[in-house]
Copies of this chain bind each other. A is one copy, B any other.
Amino acid sequence: MKTLIIVSHPSVLESGSQQFLIQSLPDDEEITLHILEETYPNGDIDIKKEQKLLVNHDRILFQFPFYWYSSPPLLKKWQDEVLTEHFAFGYRGNKLKDKEFGLILAIGLPEKEYKTGGREGFSISELTKPFQAMAKKTGMIYLKPLTIFQFSYMSEKQKKALLIEYQQYISLEQPITLKSREEWLLKELEKTPQETLATEDALFILEEVREVIEDNRIELDELKLHLDNYDDK
């Protein structure tokens, strides 16, 4: 599965969260990083090239800061110019059909403010309706967004957990299941030479493994409960 990460940020080099995410990306031919402001500093988008990029990938991700509850201007320009009729929608416009589409949002306020009565007053599910509608119109499968609330206040431990979530969001088969997360973690553990593990990292990964196993137990318990109910009938 090939993933295209389209990053948009008015000053991406100065963004702590964007740099953190971008620098974490593995050197993997299945993953294409595409920073719009770096590719098109004058804003003149090469439409044919962009459409070809889209066609050549299976999962399309928009990664951007959620200023004023929407995308940066260059990403909006990209949408308006690249997602044309007969390519992305309309008669024979099926080039994006059945691809996966996801949002990776850097958000300035804490999650609890994004609900009725909170300071922002609307949920992320409500505020991203325009992107959900875009996915619908183009026939793409809308993934649950990866939301990053208040990156600058995150602890080191939270940042490490974010990295795992980010890399799974980019490369794991959807829907992300307990089984796929387990397999991903085991694969990553195998890749890591035992002696290079700093103690703190090792502890962190062990903790992740423990969490997965706990989730596993809960799921198994639920299954058992269902089976018990079934036997009773």
Q: Which residues of A contact B (CB under 8 A)?
A: 10, 43, 67-74, 76-77, 79-80, 83, 119-122, 126-127, 129-130, 132-134, 136-137
> Are B133's CB and A127's CB within 8 A?
yes
Choose one: B77, B119, B122, B137; the contact of A129 (CB below 8 Å).
B122
Interface residues of A: mostly helix, strand, loop or mixed? helix
B residues within 8 A CB of A68? Answer: 76, 79-80, 83, 130, 134
Q: Are A73 and B70 CB-contacts (below 8 A) given A122-B132, A127-B130, A129-B129?
A: no
Known pairs A70-B130, A122-B133 / 20 extra A-B pairs, C-beta < 8 Å:
A68-B76, A68-B79, A68-B130, A68-B134, A69-B129, A69-B130, A70-B76, A71-B76, A72-B80, A73-B73, A73-B76, A73-B80, A119-B137, A120-B136, A121-B133, A121-B137, A122-B136, A126-B126, A126-B129, A129-B129
B residues within 8 A CB of A136? Answer: 120-122
What would 10 A/B residue contacts be, using CB atoms closer than 8 Å? A67-B79, A68-B80, A69-B129, A69-B130, A70-B70, A76-B76, A120-B133, A121-B133, A121-B137, A122-B136
